[in-house]
Amino acid sequence: MSDADKLIGGFRRFQNKYFAGEGQLFETLKRGQNPSTLFIACSDSRVDPAIITDCDPGDIFVVRNVANLVPPYEVDGTFHGVSSAIEYAVCVLKVKQIVVLGHFACGGIRALVEGYEPQTDADFVGRWVRIAERARYQVLAPGDDPAIRLRRCEMAAIVVSLDNLLSFPFIAERVERGELELAGWYFDLEQGALYQYNRGAGAFEVLVDSLAA
Ligand SMILES: [Zn+2]
Clarify whether 91 is annotated catalytic: no
The residues whose Cβ lies within 5 A of ligand 1, an ion, are 42, 44, 106
Domains in the chain with CATH codes: 1-32 (no CATH), 34-208 (3.40.1050.10)
Question: Catalytic: which of 59, 106, 136, 149?
Answer: 106
Centre of ligand 1 from the C-alpha of residue 102, in Å: 7
Centre of ligand 1 from the C-alpha of residue 42, in Å: 5
Centre of ligand 1 from the C-alpha of residue 108, in Å: 6
pTM of the predicted model as reported, rounded to 2 decimal places: 0.95
What's the pLDDT at 98? 98
Clarify whether 46 is annotated catalytic: yes
| DSSP state letters, the chain | --HHHHHHHHHHHHHHHHHSSSS-HHHHHTT----SEEEEEE--TT--HHHHTTPPTTSEEEEEEGGG--PPP--SSS--HHHHHHHIIIIIS--SEEEEEEETT-HHHHHHHTTPPP-STT-HHHHHGGGGHHHHHHT--TT--HHHHHHHHHHHHHHHHHHHHTTSHHHHHHHHTTS-EEEEEEEETTTTEEEEEETTTTEEEEEE--TT-
Centre of ligand 1 from the C-alpha of residue 43, in Å: 6
pLDDT digit string (tens) for the chain, length 213 residues: 889 999 999 999 999 999 998 768 999 999 999 999 999 999 999 999 999 999 999 999 999 999 999 999 999 999 999 999 999 999 999 999 999 999 999 999 999 998 877 778 888 999 999 999 999 988 877 667 889 999 999 999 999 999 999 999 999 999 999 999 999 999 999 999 999 999 999 999 999 999 998
Centre of ligand 1 from the C-alpha of residue 210, in Å: 20
What's the pLDDT at 159? 98
Centre of ligand 1 from the C-alpha of residue 41, in Å: 8
Would strands 60-65 and 181-188 be described as parallel, antiparallel, or unpaired?
unpaired
Clarify whether 136 is annotated catalytic: no
Question: Catalytic: which of 3, 5, 13, 42?
Answer: 42
Clarify whether 80 is annotated catalytic: no
